[in-house]
Amino acid sequence: MIKRILLTGLASAAMASATPVWADPADDAVAAETRTDEDRALDEGRQPAGVLRFAAPAEGDIVADFMSGGGYYAAMLADMVGPKGAVYAVNPAGFHNAEAWEARAAAHRNIRTMPVNPRQMMLAPRSVDMIFTHLVFHDLYWESERFQFPRLDEKAVLANWFAALEPGGHVIVVDHVGPAGETRQVTADLHRIDPATVARAMQAAGFVLVDQSDMLRRSDDDTTKNVFDESVRGKTDRFMMKFQKPTE
């Protein structure tokens, strides 16, 4: 009897060890060897694994990384959607570093760069499954002669997003929390935006708010300071929202 019990226990242990442990695509993307040291240096403040889990792109998805900057998230999104998916890195031409993006594209064959005039940051109808925005939604209300960034029609941009998404597709918004007030002035002064402004604008464009996360919220941030102020830079209070285009 004792021998039978021992054998049964060993068999159960063997089965347990043979049970596959499913990898977390977000963790895998953050741990990828293709990531640069410069990217990894930003991880502590950005918590990318949590952000990517919240966004939850699926393998094979087509994702637009809107105003992708240097491609910090584009690279990880490209890993998550895999070779059957694609990431369109949309950037104002004046903010596009061609040399840096060549290295990104060499490491991720499914990244497509789109450096264009800011007013031409438009997507084709029903061309994407997700639009990802990280710390840039407020820029829809920003303008700068110095940086050759013209005033945008934010309603037209959001209407384009709505048309560009497949039914059921999502828009992910991560941005710096800003105070209430005139949105363009708040953005000009602080590079922040009131979360309520984002919710109203997206809902007016036809999107439905389906999820939010407080993962990046910080109570010690002074939201009256510009996000580039050294006392708060990289440590700002941030909100995350997920919007969906209704299914037809």
Q: pLDDT tens, 146-187? A: 999 999 999 999 999 999 999 999 999 999 999 999 999 999
pLDDT at 75: 97
pLDDT at 158: 98
Residue whose tokens read 């499914």: 110
Is residue 100 in some structural domain? yes
Q: Report pLDDT digits (tens) over 20-31.
A: 556 799 999 999
Measured from the Cβ of residue 10, the count of other Cβ atoms closer than 10 Å reads 10
Is residue 2 in some structural domain? no
Is residue 14 in some structural domain? no
Instruction: State phi, psi for 10 to the nearest 5 degrees.
Output: -65, -40
Is pLDDT of 89 > 70?
Answer: yes
User: What are the start-end ranges of the H helices in 145-241?
Assistant: 154-164, 183-190, 195-204
Average pLDDT over the chain, rounded to an integer: 92
Is residue 122 in some structural domain? yes
* Residue range(s) defining the domain that contains residue 226: 24-244
Is residue 172 in some structural domain? yes
Q: What is the CATH number of the domain that holds 104?
A: 3.40.50.150
Is residue 104 in some structural domain? yes
Q: How many domains does the chain have?
A: 1
What's the predicted TM-score (pTM) here?
Answer: 0.90
